Amino acid sequence: MNIFKNNLRKHYFLELFKITDQTSASQFDTQDLVLQSVELLEKLTKEKANHFSLNYSNSGSKTIRGFKSQYQKSKEIVQCYVDFNSNKTKTYFTVSNSILNYENDSKRPEKSLIDISFQINQSLITKEEIENLAEELIQSFSFDYGYIHEFPTNKYHGEKKMKKGLFSTSIDIDKIDLLWKNHQIEIMNGYIKKLYFINYLNQSQITNKAIKELIQSNGVCAQVSDTIFKWEVEPKEHQELLKNEELLDTCIVSKESRFLSFDTK
């Protein structure tokens, strides 16, 4: 299905999530994820990664060799940013392992998420190629949930709407962002973040009664790994489904924050 149109002012946004506990978060091989992602993205876009930074550092390295050296010197990798000449291409990706933000002597949550998110200029990659990128990573790293959507680059940073001032541009963190952050592990209990053009769903989501019934009459669904299914909807279907009450009841993120009215314990 040709759900994306070629438009130089738009970008694809891909995000994948993996549920972890304290042990698996510490043992996760972030370096391998970064290196595989760089290799795949360079091959697909023909753009070279030209900046790597770790743990929110303002400094970084320009090469994979420098990144590996940085990585070996770091005790734990909370965050990694990889840039592909983004001033020109608007293309980059980030990896986050948020449970590692907690100090060693503080109480960490029992469950958390590792996520990787890509913003890729639509002129550099096709719809089929970004799906292949997503599905290779899902299969290699056993991600539990994800999605692909498109956004106008002059209005959005990733999937976050930008707020433009007279001399600067900022991104607001609102209650919807906090709602997602506080309840994101519910993706393993049948809930989704919200509906996107392409949705990578786990077993709990695909068997959720509301989602299961909607898939039967909307879009196309196919299995892409042992545990993940891809549900793809056309833009027109997407707009109609956003009004569906049963679907909205499965979304963690919505304007009405209706997720908060459900007891998920």
Cα end-to-end distance, the chain, whole Å: 38
Whole-angstrom Cα distance, residue 254 to residue 231?
19
Mean pLDDT, residues 226-255: 93
Sole residue written with tokens 């948020």 = 98
At residue 166 the predicted structure's pLDDT band, cuts being 50, 70 and 90, is: low
User: Could you tell me the pTM of the whole model?
Assistant: 0.90
Which tokens in the block code for residue 59?
A: 């400094």
Q: Are 33 and 25 in contact (CB under 8 A)?
A: no
Mean pLDDT, residues 76-101: 94
Q: How many residues in total does the chain contain?
A: 265
Contacts for 63 with CB less than 8 Å, ≥ 6 apart: 52
Whole-angstrom Cα distance, residue 101 to residue 97?
8
| Model confidence pLDDT, tens digit, residues 38-88 | 999 999 999 999 999 999 888 899 999 999 999 999 888 999 999 999 999
